[in-house]
């Protein structure tokens, strides 16, 4: 997806002095890079990066780093995250989410027989310190090649499980075959893999159908601005968190 002039008029000169954090409520159907490109083009900000990728299907809090703040990306990406989402029981896909091809289905009766207590037990078994195997459809590199590129060729390769921590994995609502949840986890956690693993634990399979990031460290979704609102604005400055305010946020959490 390329930036469009429909995003609004560009300022006459590029901004090289604008520095800080921009909290964006990312819409679905766009990559994190798409959002970066839209903001860079629309406001002619020379340096724009992001503090943690969201899959195209996912929505919610995406932290953009402007100007000198791009040097702080590691400090932003290192924070724990909170998500809300929905998984669908009884269906597995090759990407572990709704954008993939169906690879297995379970009997409807087996899915309908699952209780809230069953689902809560499965979620509880996926909390604490875990080793998680990155999905094949992911941006992680093996041998210098991103896994999703190998997956597109129908290849499956050995991946090394990596340590993650899931603080909590809560069932919010069960309306079979869908289960709404909230999860708080460490950086690098694939929530769609948690959904897949929950389906395995329940014996019926599952995949992620909805995901929304609501928090990253001290930053919350309520403070974010929808991308469409930003692109329609005359200036970014009213929405940018200065570097001094970012430092104060880090002090709040003892960094």
Is residue 178 among the annotated active site residues?
A: no
**Which one, of 207, 211, 197, lies nearest residue 123 by Cα?**
197
Residue-range domain boundaries for the chain:
5-78+219-252, 81-215
- Helix-helix angle 116-124:191-202, to 10 degrees: 120
Residue 5 has pLDDT above 50, yes or no: no
Residue 1 in this model has a pLDDT that exceeds 50: no
Pick from 11-15, 165-169, 210-214: least confident: 11-15
Tens digit of each residue's pLDDT (9 = 90 or more) over 25-37: 999 999 999 999 9
**Rounded mean pLDDT, 185-203:** 96
pLDDT at 92 over 90: yes
Cβ atoms of 64 and 35 within 8 Å: the answer is: yes
How much is the pTM?
Answer: 0.89
Mean confidence (pLDDT) of the chain: 89
Is the domain 5-78+219-252 a CATH 3.30.70 member? yes
pLDDT in tens, 238-248: 999 988 887 77
Q: What is the pLDDT of residue 108?
A: 97
Q: Which residues pair with 64 in a beta bridge?
A: 22, 50
Binned at pLDDT 50, 70 and 90, residue 209 comes out as very high
- Residue 145 token pair: 């090649």
Superfamily in which the 81-215 domain is placed by CATH? Pseudouridine synthase (3.30.2350.10)
* Span of 80-89, 90-99, 134-143 with lowest mean pLDDT: 134-143
Residue 70 has what pLDDT?
87
Mean pLDDT confidence for 78-88: 95
Out of 17, 34, 55, 180, the active site residue is 55
């Amino acid at each position: 997806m390329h930036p469009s002039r429909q995003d609004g008029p560009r300022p006459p000169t590029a901004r090289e002095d604008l520095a800080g954090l921009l909290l964006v409520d990312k819409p679905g159907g766009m990559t994190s890079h798409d959002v970066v490109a839209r903001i860079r083009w629309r406001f002619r900000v020379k340096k724009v990066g992001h503090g943690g990728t969201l899959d195209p299907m996912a929505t919610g809090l995406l932290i953009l780093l402007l100007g000198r703040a791009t040097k702080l990306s590691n400090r932003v990406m290192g924070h724990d995250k909170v998500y809300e989402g929905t998984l669908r029981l009884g269906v597995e896909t090759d990407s572990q989410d709704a954008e993939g091809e169906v690879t297995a289905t379970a009997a409807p009766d087996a899915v309908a027989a699952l209780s809230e207590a069953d689902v809560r037990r499965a979620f509880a078994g996926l909390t604490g310190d875990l080793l998680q195997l990155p999905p094949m459809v992911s941006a992680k590199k093996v041998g210098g090649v991103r896994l999703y590129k190998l997956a597109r060729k129908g290849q499956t390769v050995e991946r090394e499980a990596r340590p993650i921590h899931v603080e909590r994995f809560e069932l919010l609502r069960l309306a079979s075959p869908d289960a709404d949840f909230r999860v708080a986890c460490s950086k690098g956690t694939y929530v769609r893999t948690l959904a897949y693993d929950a389906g395995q634990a329940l014996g019926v399979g599952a995949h992620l159908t909805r995901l929304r990031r609501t928090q990253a460290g001290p930053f919350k979704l309520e403070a974010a601005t929808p991308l469409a609102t930003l692109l329609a604005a005359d200036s970014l400055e009213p929405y940018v968190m200065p570097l001094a305010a970012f430092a104060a946020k880090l002090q709040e959490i003892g960094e």
